[in-house]
Amino acid sequence: MTDPAAEYISLPVFAESGYVVIDSYDQSQDPDEWADLTFVDWKSSGDTRFAPLASAYGDMECDGFWNHDPAKTDKDGVWVPANVDVAPRLVARAQEPGANIGRCRVIELQPNTYADALYNMHRDDNNRLNPEGTGWIVRAFFNLTDNPDTMMILREDRDDPSTETRVPLPAGAQAVIDTQRLWHAVWHPGPDPRYCLITSYTSGPELGAWLEEKNAVPRIDVAPLDPAFAAEAEAAAQKKRSDRAAAIAASGADPAFGDGSLSGGSSMEVMSEA
Ligand SMILES: [Fe+2]
């Protein structure tokens, strides 16, 4: 398989698994700044909202940087004053690695099931318009709310459960993921919404040094799921996927555009987050 990251500056620590888990952060020392942020409802399925801290040009919106004029890659995000003003700790945490920041936002995720998460798995398009020879863009996930039973689902192969890792997301859990390589989604049993700071970073010496300082590990032990439960969820997700493909085929719509009306509300933007 061709490795698209090979044409870019990438970090060796991601080579093995495509993700790293780093030291947890003591979330209890910080106020719940996300409660004061302005969330944007655009293109949302109703299950997810976003609060931009850095957007393409500093506006209160969450569109991909390539959808702006002038279009740009997911680097050089511009801080959004109204949200930055109420979330100085979140901004400071995003800036801590010292690497270039693209999109930076807090996601609000409503409860879902394991089958939902399997269906929602996707790979991001972080490196669209990213010039070859520059740093490969990866994404950091800093969990804000305490969700010990919530899992970031990662798969090297979407249809092969044996490639799955589940990263637990208690308060302060931190992972940095090549989300353009790994299929991913979050399984959040609830009952309350989950909040997480998501930041796009450019790979390079700054990010590499920070990951080393935070004791990045490229593999974690994963508690097994009940096999019958897992098989049932897998089948449910596969069926939903094939039903959606059939609905798109019947409508004549171009599946590349991921029509939210046919997907149960999974717009492209929602699918680009976790
Ligand atoms: Fe994503």
The values of phi and psi at residue 109, to 5°, are -120, 125
Ligand 1 centroid to Cα of residue 221, in Å, is 22
Query: What letters, b where the CB count within 10 A reaches 16 and e where it falls short, cover 14-43?
Result: beebbbbbbeebebeebeebbeebebbeee
CA of 223 to the centre of ligand 1 (A): 23
Q: Is the pLDDT of residue 231 over 50?
A: yes
Q: What is the pLDDT of residue 248?
A: 87
Is 0.85 topped by the overall pTM? yes
CB neighbour class for 190 (10 Å; exposed up to 12, middle 13-18, buried from 19): middle
Distance 249 CA to ligand 1 centre (A): 25
Comparing 196 with 264, the larger pLDDT belongs to: 196
CATH of residue 38's domain is 2.60.120.330
Provide the pLDDT for residue 274: 57
- Please answer whether residues 74 and 128 qualify as being in contact, where contact means their C-beta atoms are separated by less than 8 angstroms: yes
Whether the predicted pLDDT of 97 surpasses 80: yes
- 3-class DSSP state of 170: coil
Mean pLDDT score of the chain:
90
CA of 85 to the centre of ligand 1 (A): 26
d(CA 31, CA 90): 10
Strand partners, 175: 21, 141
Distance 248 CA to ligand 1 centre (A): 22
Instruction: Please give the residue range of the domain that contains residue 114.
Output: 4-271
Q: Please tell me the distance between residue 242's alpha carbon and the centre of ligand 1 in angstroms.
A: 21
At residue 195, the pLDDT reads 97
Structural domain count, the chain: 1
Cβ-proximal residues to 250 (8 Å cutoff; 6+ apart), any chain? none
Q: What is the pLDDT of residues 3-42, one digit of tens each?
A: 676 799 999 999 999 999 999 999 999 999 999 999 997 6
Q: Give residue 252's pLDDT band: very low, low, confident or very high (50, 70, 90).
A: confident
Residue 269, pLDDT > 50, answer no
CA 197 / ligand 1 centre spacing (Å): 13
In the reported structure, the alpha carbon of residue 77 is separated from the centroid of ligand 1 by a whole-number distance in angstroms of: 17
Tokens of 220: 């974690």
Ligand 1 centroid vs 192 CA: distance in angstroms? 21
Sheet containing strand 101-109, strands side by side: 19-22, 174-177, 137-143, 194-202, 101-109, 48-55, 78-79
Say how many Å lie between the CA of residue 220 and the centre of ligand 1.
20
Interstrand relation of 101-109 and 194-202 (parallel, antiparallel or unpaired): antiparallel
